[in-house]
Each structure stands twice: as structure tokens, then as C-alpha cells.
Structure 1
Amino acid sequence: MARSPLTRELKPEEHLDLDSFVTSWAWSEGDPLMMAGQKVSGSYLVVAGRVRVVRDTIDGREITVDIASPGDIIGPLETNPSYAVDSAWAMETTCALYLPADRLAEVIARHPALAVAIVQMQHTRLAQARDRDVNQSAKTVVQRVATVLLRLDAKLGDLRPDGSSLLQVRLRRDDIAGMAGTTLESTSRAMSQMKKDGLIDSGREWVSIIDAQALERIVDGE
């Protein structure tokens, strides 16, 4: 729990108290944590593994909207059961802590720091959603793909001795396309050019960031 922005500011004794409210769950690769439209009665804090979060579009496609890793929350942070907007699938063996919705209010009352962290997380999620909408209307495909790669690098990158950063997740190009709000074909072209220019390296389901500063310049429109 110390990895999560929701709980990392809690004191050790508060972590022990919070343990009494949660239960441990585990899934194998390919198992669903939840399905869109399903009534869910709590949320999950990922402690190990990776989770692909996907959304159905109005034209029947399924797009990746996020990849959750340890410390991330899956499911709505509500005090009552609600319906899941997205589906979530384990990309590998995944473990998470489950907090029932009907215990959330009690947990917040006992731990005010957690309440503040939840407000901050919800604000961040809204800001990210707003940025995605702005990017889709005002940024080029290359800029949007670069933005996704940098965000994944900050979250999942593992610095190598040669200075590159390997994204610690099995990453499909259609995952990047979904998060960038563009097509697989456009994403593939953008990444092929980045690879040709020496900004990234990539193969089947892996990406390594070679020149993050160059990607940042692309995002900034330079």
C-alpha cells in the first residue's frame, strides 16, 4: 500500500488499521477484474502485476484507456455500489487489495489523510481526461503518441545502464493507439519514425525509450 498515492502518506499504524478493512484477491493472466456495465461493490488497489483497462466505443471497438500497475486503483471510489464504466483484464499474474464500497466512508472518517488523497486522485483523473480531449483536437498523432510513451515511461520505465528506459509491461501498439486516441496504423507510422530517428526502440510487445528529451520536445511542438 505504500506505493499508492492514496495511502503512501499514512503512518505505519494507519496502514495496520487499514489492513482490517481490505481483503486480498488474485487473478491469472487473461482473467477479468471487472467488466463494463457490471455492478461493482468496491475498488481494488493493485499491489503486484499489470492490468489493462479497456473501454467499448460506440462503433463496437475495444480501446485501451490505461495500464494499471502497483499503486493504482481499479474501479470507482464510491461509498455505494455502482456500475463499472470500463473493463479491466489482468495482463499477468496480478494481486490487489479490495476495499468494499460500504466501508469506504468509515475508512475516510478514520483516516482524513486518505480523504484528501482521494480528492487529489479524482482531480488528477479529471485533469488527465480533459488533457486527452484537448490533445485529440489540438495535437498531432506524433505528439499524442509521444505523450503516451512519456507517461508510461514515468510510470513503468526501468532505467538501463546504457541510459535507455525499458517499459516494464507487455505493450501492444494498439494499447498505445487507444491511449493516444488514434488508429493502430497511425500509431505504427509514428513509432516507426521515432525508431528510425533513434528516439525509441521497440519489438513485439516491448518499447524502450532512448531519448526522452527529444520526445518532450515533440510534445511541446518544437
Structure 2
Amino acid sequence: MMAPRKRSPLEIKTTEAHLCSISLRLKILGQVPFFRDLTASDHEWINSLFHEKDFDTDEVICLSGDAAEQLFIIADGRVKLLQHSLEGKEILLDLLTPGEFFGALSGLGNDVYPETAQAHTNCCILVIGRETFQHVLQRYPAVALKLIDIMAGRLRTANERVHQLSALSIEARIASILLMLADKFGERKGNELLLQVPLSREDLAGMSGATTESASRVMSRFQKDGLIRSGRKWVAVIDRAGLEALAGKA
């Protein structure tokens, strides 16, 4: 007799289109790093320039290589940033949450979108076009300066990822990714830190530059060593210090 499958501890919330209200939009715009220091009336004016669009799970929002004409801000739901290897393999670069932005604008140094963005859950996305966003930058020069700083930080992070993929062991890379996801999605459940995001072995393999088989072996070893607890598409961190030691961050 087969043992019953473990029930996932994740609390997945489904986004409904009608939940992307004006109050939510204003709240999210106030959380965006380059809009955060503006006033409530500024946020109301900026909100009037955005239009919202709903995406179903797995629906593509923008494609890598397409002309960069829009900037996207997540109001509700989660978005995957992807690239494809020369062999056509899908590589998961990041998982974005409400208040984070993606896309690019040709006026800010990007002629094309650097990554493909795909809805990880049902999403409500705020969208603004290139010419309209130029009006925002002209009215608030400080926004442009902050945006440049943020983009420079993202470039540094991307360079660090390249270093990790080329210099660190698979164990160190996966430990580092689990720590990053724990900081972003972790929710304390007793003595564990549950990553409140569906996470498959394929996702971990894509983020770490490993094969799915190698990622599965490493995760099994981590579980055996008491560093994590995991099931189908979920992970809980038990020994953060142990993962930090493996990642070289202790």
C-alpha cells in the first residue's frame, strides 16, 4: 500500500482581477523604491498614468529580446524572470513579488527586454509606456537618479550570480539560493522558516546552473543532514547557519 502524499504546508493565495483596487495600487506605488519618498498626491497623479493588466498563471508578460517599451510593477501575485540557454533550457533568474518592477525602457539604456517575464501566479500588473514614464522623470528628477542606482545594483547582483555559477560548488550555489529565497519569502513556522513559494527541483536547477538530477541530489543531502525539510514544490529551512557555512557566508 502506497504511503499518502504529504500535504503541502504552503498557503497559496489566488489573485482575483477585481482585487487590484485603487487603494491597493496606491499602496504598491508607495512601496516602489523610486516612488517611496514622494507624497500621497504624487502617487495619485502617477497612478493615473498607469493602466493595469491581469495575467493568468504561466502567461507570458514580456519576452526577452522584444523592444523595450514598457515598465511593469507588480500590484498582486508573483512573476518569474527567465532566460533560455543556448540549448533552449529555461533558466529561472528571480521571483518577484508585489512592489517590485521589471521590464525596461529604451530611454533608460535598454533597447530590448533583458529577460522574459512570466506570471508565476495570477497577477495584477501596473503598466506604463516609455513616453508616459518620461513625463514622470521630467517632473521628478530624483526618481530618475534612484532608478539608475537600483539598476546599477541589479547589475552588480547579476555579476555576482555569474561569479557564483563559475566559481562555487553546486552545494554552495544551492545553499546561497535557498538563503536568498528564505530572506524574500520565508515565514516562521515554529523552528522552521517555510519558503512561501512553490519551488520545484527544476526551478532550483535553473537558478543554480545545475542539472535537475544534481539539484535533487543536493537537496536530498541537505535534508538528510538536517539543513532543510522539503516536499513536492516546497522547502523549509531548518538550519540557516549550516546553509550559510556551505554558502561561504558564515
Contact 1:51 1:90 in 2 (8 A): yes
Tell me, in whole angstroms, the C-alpha distance in 2 between the residues paired with 1:6 and 1:177.
Answer: 32
Report what 2:209 is aligned to. Answer: 181
Q: Residues 3 and 196 (structure 1 numbering): CA distance in 2 closer, same or farther, change over 3 Å?
A: farther
Tell me, in whole angstroms, the C-alpha distance in 2 between the residues paired with 1:114 and 1:126.
Answer: 18
Q: Which amino acid aligns with 2:62?
A: M
Tell me, in whole angstroms, the C-alpha distance in 2 between the residues paired with 1:20 and 1:220.
Answer: 46
TM alignment of 1:141-160, pairs within 5 A: 141-160=170-189
1:6 and 2:34 aligned: yes
3-state SS, counterpart of residue 75 of structure 1: strand
Report what 1:74 is aligned to. Answer: 102
Report what 1:124 is aligned to. Answer: 153
Report what 1:31 is aligned to. Answer: 59
Tell me, in whole angstroms, the C-alpha distance in 2 between the residues paired with 1:8 and 1:154.
Answer: 21
Which 5+ residue runs of structure 1 have no aligned equivalent?
none
Which 5+ residue runs of structure 2 have no aligned equivalent?
1-28
Q: Percent identity?
A: 32
Shift of 1:5: 2.3
3-state SS, counterpart of residue 60 of structure 1: coil
Q: Which amino acid aligns with 1:89?
A: Q
Shift of 1:7: 2.4
Tell me, in whole angstroms, the C-alpha distance in 2 between the residues paired with 1:94 and 1:11.
Answer: 26
Q: Which amino acid aligns with 2:175?
A: A
3-state SS, counterpart of residue 206 of structure 2: helix
Tell me, in whole angstroms, the C-alpha distance in 2 between the residues paired with 1:40 and 1:150.
Answer: 32
1:111 and 2:140 aligned: yes
Tell me, in whole angstroms, the C-alpha distance in 1 between the residues paired with 2:224 and 2:31.
Answer: 36
Which protein has the larger Cα radius of gyration, Structure 1 or Structure 2?
Answer: 2
